[in-house]
Every structure is written in structure tokens, then in C-alpha cells.
Amino acid sequence: MRNLKHLLIVLGLFFPIFTAFRPLSNNPSAYNAAIVLKVIQDVKHKKPVTDWTTTKPATQLETSDQLKTGDKSLAVVRFVDGSNLRVRENTTITIFADKKERGLIKNTKIDVGKMRFDVEKQQVDDEFIITTPTAVATIRGTSGFVNVDEDGQTLLVIESGVVEVRAVVGAQQSGTVEAGNSSFINSEGLVIINPSTEQEKNEARNTLRTNERYLQIQTQQGTFRIYYLDFE
């Protein structure tokens, strides 16, 4: 009986993660596109018709859901294909997933802020897209970093793999960004590709660092830890 109790507890802890990756239905609004693996400090999410609510680990994100982080906050999001996003502080994203007859299109729209992406190699008919106010980037088996400023201008830093990028404003230039290079897409629709500077490389590497700290509080109910980020 005791072993059965322990088994039920373990199943209860992991059940939300298992259900988050249930098979996709043909109704785009009925399936989960991603799951939030980690939350530090101020992270909220909402559906198109709801208000913002506090996000917890194992929160399931459906297509068209939004997620935002506050000061010194972070969220780690995993898609159904195993691709990961590390959403840094003061960043707002919208998750989309569209199941086609032959594949799945995943799209993350980032309005402003910084986000690291580690995207699994995509199947032939699958796509992983990052959309900003000025650009669309198609990603296949790629790691890197995206920074969108208040004016919507976009910086892509590619550590591995290849990204096809296209401006969606102005001149609507396009280009291919390979590992070790960065692309800046400005408000005029110009796509400028250059080798990544040391500053850009360091910023991309720093997106892997959480600099996680915690405060330990002793209460009558036990010891609790409050986690927060100490950014460089």
C-alpha cells in the first residue's frame, strides 16, 4: 500500500507534462502547442479572451496564447517537437501552432524583448518560425538569440545552424544567416548580415545563464525558497 501511494504521487507530479504533449487535433484551438518548464519571478500568460494570470511550471500553452515576463524574470518554454525557448526579462511572446495535412507549423511572435531559441531539426514538412514587427525568420535545427527593441528592429545572432530571414516592412530584403553571423533588420526593411561581434556572441551565451538566486524562509509549515534572477 505504501509503494502504491508513492507511485500515485509520482504519477500526479508528471501527469501535467504528459498531457501537455497529447496528440494534436484538427481543431487549432483545441490542442496544446507548448508547455512552460520553468518560471522565475514575474511571468504571466493569457488567452485572447482572458486577462493575464500568473504562470506556473507545467502551464500548458495553446495556440494564440500570450506569455510575458517582468523585471529580472525568466520563462523556459518547450514545444511539442522538443524545441526550447528561454524568454528573458521584459519580453512578450505569442505562441501559434498550425497543424497542416503533412506537417506542423510552429510560430513564436515576439513583440519586444530578448529570447534564446534552441530549435530541434525539423521534419521535411514542419516549420519553426520566429516573427517580429520587422522580420520573419525560418529556423531548422538552429540555436541562437533574438533581440527586438522598442521600435521593432530585430537582431538575430546565430550560434549553430542556418536561418532564412525576410523583412516584412519597407524594402523587404531577405537573406541567409549562417552560424557565427548576425543579422540586423531595421525599420526600413533592410537585412544587414555580418560576422557576429564579440559583444553579440557574449550576449547570446549569457541567455543560457540564469544567475539564479533564492531567499530561504522558515515557517511553521516548513522551509520555502523564493527564487529570483540576478542579471549581469
In tens, the pLDDT along 90-132 reads 999 999 988 776 677 889 999 999 999 999 887 777 889 999 9
Q: What pLDDT does residue 221 have? A: 60
Which residue type occupies 178? E
**Contact partners, residue 28, CB within 8 Å, separation at least 6:** 63, 97, 98, 99
Q: What pLDDT does residue 231 have? A: 44
Integer angstrom CA distances of residue 25 from 63, 171, 200: 12, 38, 40
Three cell numbers written together for 220: 511553521
pLDDT classification of 17: cutoffs 50, 70, 90: very low
Q: What pLDDT does residue 127 have? A: 85
For residue 124, the SS3 value is coil
pLDDT classification of 8: cutoffs 50, 70, 90: very low
Residue 39 predicted with pLDDT over 50: yes
Mean of pLDDT over the chain: 82
Integer angstrom CA distances of residue 101 from 79, 161, 179, 212: 19, 27, 31, 42
In tens, the pLDDT along 73-89 reads 999 999 988 899 999 99
Q: For the structural domain made of 2-229, what CATH number should be given?
A: 2.60.120.1440
Q: Which residue has the cell 505504501?
A: 2
Question: Higher model confidence: residue 153 or residue 220?
Answer: 153
pLDDT classification of 2: cutoffs 50, 70, 90: very low
Q: What pLDDT does residue 21 have? A: 40
> Residue 71 phi/psi, 5° resolution?
-60, 140
Question: Higher model confidence: residue 133 or residue 15?
Answer: 133
Q: What pLDDT does residue 123 have? A: 73
Report d(CA 169, CA 166) in Å as an integer. Answer: 9
- Candidates 20, 136, 135; CA nearest to 127 is 136
Centroid of chain to Cα 84: 6
Q: Which residue has the cell 494564440?
A: 64
pLDDT classification of 9: cutoffs 50, 70, 90: very low
Q: What pLDDT does residue 145 have? A: 94
How large is the average pLDDT for residues 35-64? 94
Residue 202 predicted with pLDDT over 80: yes
**Contact partners, residue 47, CB within 8 Å, separation at least 6:** 62, 64, 65, 66
